[in-house]
A = this chain, B = another copy of it.
């Protein structure tokens, strides 16, 4: 896992640029489709970001969790709501998800909207 959200974002942006510029149309279209999946449709963006977060948690992908935790904070989810979503993921995915829940809590410390009241 990246040391900080800043490091995560830097690596992500650097490589995304290389991938999108590599000349493969299918990859480029998939990245666009991935982006569009969270735009308002049958569901609003806020709901979809929470769906993306829970999907990332049960599939146990730290980078995906980091990305969606940031997004969930940005679209207005509160700490208690995100934690309740983590609980659904924890029950569905089991104790094997616990290390990812820990790292997600660590990430939330870096996000003002989701950080605990008294930062540890």
Contact = CB atoms under 8 A, between A and B. Distances in A.
Given A15-B102, A42-B80, A92 B22 contact: no
Contacts of A99: 61-64
A98 B56 CA distance: 12
A51 B50 contact: yes
A101 interface: yes
Interface of A: 11-12, 14-19, 21-24, 26-27, 29-31, 33-34, 36-38, 41-43, 47-48, 50-52, 54-56, 58-64, 78, 80-99, 101-103, 105-106, 116, 120
Contact of A29 (B16, B33, B60, B62): B33
A83 B15 contact: no
Contacts of A83: 22, 24, 27, 42
Nearest to A40: B84
